[in-house]
Amino acid sequence: MDRSGMRQLLIDWLDDNYHFGEADSKIGSDDASFLDNGILDSLGFVALVVYLEDSFHITIDRKNLNRENFNSVNKILDYVVLRTGGAA
Amino acid sequence: MSLAGLEFAFFFPVVFLLYWLGPHRASWQNAVLMLASAVFYATWDMSLLAVLAGAMVVSFGAGLALGAPSLEEGPAADDTTVRRRRRAILAVAIGAELGLLGVFKYAGFFAGSLNALLSAAGLPDMLPVLRLALPLGISYTTLIQVGYLLEVYWRRTPACRDPLAYATFVAFFPQLLAGPIVRAPGMLRQYGAARLLSPDVLASGAGAFLLGFAMKAFVADWLSPRVVDPVFANPAAYTAGTLWLSLLGYATQLFCDFAGYSLMAIGTGRMFGLELPENFRYPFLSKSLAEFWRRWHISLNTWLFDYLFAPLTTGRSWFRGRAGAGFLVVFLVSGLWHGATWTFVLWGLAHGVALAIHHTYDLWYKGRCRKDRRYVAWRKAGPYVLASWAVTQLFFLLTLIPFRAPDLSAASAFATGLLGFGGQSGLAERFGLQAAACVLFMLFFHLLEVGRGPALKQGFLALPAPLRGIVYGLILAFLMVYVPVGASTFIYAQF
């Protein structure tokens, strides 16, 4: 799966669980902070981690798992692409 | 000594002058703060200073071992032996920290509970019940140090190599009694560099301290002996109306006592050029329990979330993806952290169960939202929001009964009294201006965060300094006239 496919999966998950059709417009920029812009709360982050690990068959390293560096569409995609080698 | 006590008014200026007039170096500043913290601690209990020092030596040493070059990231970092060694160091260090807390705080509770169980079965007592003096702030310093060890173990923060900076990070005197619970990534960086004195930061620190002092000394300490303590001491004697009033009074007292202390600690830190983490963010505006716990005692709840809930529910154990079960564990731990009594266990259990129920409801409601977008709109509508707010606040209020009651039977008497099965007594005195001021203060404090409130606050802060000075002066004069000097201790200091 390429990056844009991964992005769509992420947006679909946000729509299904938090924003119901408004995720893309709420995010605005792919660099926008999820926490600062009310895209996800801390519980949402935990659910997202489980979703990403299960969907892409990866293990998210605790080193990377904090609010600062796992906090926007681009940061999340960068990490998933790195771990999957760009394919899921 | 307490931040709200008279001694502090003499202690603080001395430390402040030594800190800022000495060499402008991190080592000098940390040394002054460490010495001041030791003096502060010694005014409570000199003999237990060694316990705190011992705990710091263990976690500092373990941090160094975890961050040793041979065990750090590199070609060998993923080696199984290295991973095992790091895990063993972490387990021993955390075991030592929690073991110390267990001996001082929980040994008596668990031994007493086991003996009671045996006695109910007609068997003799098996364990001696230890009643040890609880070292000041041990519940806070343990969490700070366990958090530091996990951060270093997960390689999210480098090991601290400066013992003075580490000791100050753990035992900085404003946070010693009742938090906020500081975290290594945010604080160690600050202790590693010399702090600068800035008029803006100094003014903001003094303002936070003054607001916190007013909340503690004027609201919390006024309510406690008049509206809360007598009623909780004998709940069966009072009418339902009095019990509801007392419960509301206790919610206000607890908030003003603890949020007030936190603001005083944050303000004191700021006057030394240090930014401690936020601990309260208008919790009485919360519209769900999950939101409430993101606004109340933030430093404890983010700690429990990041170091317990998240690893538990994202790990490979049975808890993976089971948020409800995670809430139960986290709030049972939170209850026990607050105190080694069954009333706190009950309080934690109630919150854990309520959060699990709310989470299940939330999942169900989201399912409806996916099928029918009208559910999304209903959730944002006024009646739904108002009902969510009311249920959340009422639930929190009711769980304060076991939180405050001395034992389960008193909690039960209070709860049945709320339903009208209590006595006939009312409060001894009628309240006038000061009671109204307490209520108005709480209202304004929260209303300043909604609607046009933030703009009004900004408008006040933008007023010319002399005008703001007059307002602050009037507040100070008011406090000096009405607030009894030598305020009582803080509720959260007992935890």
Chain B contact present for A47, CB below 8 A: yes
Shortest Cα–Cα distance, A54 to chain B (Å): 10
Question: Cβ contacts of residue B84 below 8 Å, gap of 6+?
Answer: none
Chain B contact present for A58, CB below 8 A: no
Residue type at position B272: F
- CA separation for the pair B273, B19 (Å, rounded): 10
B314·A50 Cβ contact <8 A: yes
Percent of chain B with pLDDT over 90: 46
B302 to chain A: closest CA residue: A42
What pLDDT is stored for residue A78 in this prediction? 87
Question: Chain B partners of A16 at a C-beta cutoff of 8 Å?
Answer: 366, 370
pTM as predicted: 0.87
The residue among B172, B247, B216, B203 whose CA lies nearest residue B414 is: B247
Q: Cα–chain-centroid distance for residue B74?
A: 38
Residue pLDDT, tens place only, B188-233: 999 999 999 888 888 889 989 988 988 888 888 888 888 888 889 8
Question: Chain A partners of B376 at a C-beta cutoff of 8 Å?
Answer: 20
Q: Is the ipTM of this complex over 0.90?
A: no
Q: Model confidence at B495, in pLDDT bands (50, 70, 90)?
A: low
Chain B contact present for A82, CB below 8 A: no
Shortest Cα–Cα distance, A50 to chain B (Å): 6
CA dihedral B237, B239, B241, B244 (to 10 degrees): 30
The partner residue sitting opposite B376, judged by closest CB among A16, A20, A60, is A20
Chain A contact present for B320, CB below 8 A: yes
Q: Cα dist. B255→B176, B212, B279 in Å? A: 19, 11, 11
Are B34 and B121 in contact by the 8 Å Cβ rule? The answer is no
Domains of chain A: 3-84 (1.10.1200.10)
The partner residue sitting opposite A63, judged by closest CB among B154, B290, B306, is B154
CA dihedral B69, B73, B75, B81 (to 10 degrees): 80
Chain A contact present for B229, CB below 8 A: no
Chain B contact present for A53, CB below 8 A: yes
DSSP one-letter string for A37-57: TTS--HHHHHHHHHHHHHHHT
Chain A contact probe: residue of B314, B322, B363 with most A CBs at under 10 A:
B314
Q: What is the mean pLDDT of each run of 10 residues along chain A (88 residues)?
A: 86 89 85 85 88 87 72 88 71
Chain A contact present for B311, CB below 8 A: yes
Which tokens sit at B123? Answer: 């068997």
Q: Cα–chain-centroid distance for residue B214?
A: 19
Chain A contact present for B12, CB below 8 A: no
Helices (H), B163-276: 163-171, 173-176, 184-191, 199-213, 221-223, 229-233, 240-271
Burial B255-267 (b: 16+ CB within 10 A, else e): bbbbbbbbbbbbb
Are B179 and B94 in contact by the 8 Å Cβ rule? The answer is no
Residue pLDDT, tens place only, B429-481: 666 667 777 778 888 888 888 888 888 888 888 888 888 888 888 877 877 77
Are B300 and B179 in contact by the 8 Å Cβ rule? The answer is yes
A63·B156 Cβ contact <8 A: yes
- CA separation for the pair B208, B205 (Å, rounded): 5
Chain B contact probe: residue of A12, A42, A51 with most B CBs at under 10 A:
A42
What pLDDT is stored for residue B104 in this prediction? 83
Are B321 and B329 in contact by the 8 Å Cβ rule? The answer is no
Name the residues of B annotated as catalytic: 338
B310·A46 Cβ contact <8 A: yes
A63·B305 Cβ contact <8 A: no
Chain A contact present for B308, CB below 8 A: no
| DSSP category for residue B492 | G
Q: Is the dihedral of CA A38, B188, B335, B281 positive or negative?
A: negative
Question: Chain A partners of B306 at a C-beta cutoff of 8 Å?
Answer: 66
Which tokens sit at B443? Answer: 């209202």
Percent of chain B with pLDDT over 70: 93
Chain B contact present for A25, CB below 8 A: no
Burial class (CB in 10 A: 0-12, 13-18, 19+), B153: buried
The partner residue sitting opposite B373, judged by closest CB among A17, A20, A47, is A20
B155·A43 Cβ contact <8 A: no
Mean pLDDT of the B262-266 span:
94
The partner residue sitting opposite A43, judged by closest CB among B154, B290, B321, is B290
- CA separation for the pair B274, B281 (Å, rounded): 20
The partner residue sitting opposite A20, judged by closest CB among B154, B306, B369, is B369
Residue pLDDT, tens place only, B113-122: 777 888 887 7
Q: Cα dist. B477→B59, B232, B432, B473, B482 in Å? A: 46, 33, 20, 6, 9
Is residue B425 over pLDDT 90? no
What pLDDT is stored for residue B432 in this prediction? 65
- The strand pairing partners of B425, in sequence order, are B238
B369·A60 Cβ contact <8 A: no
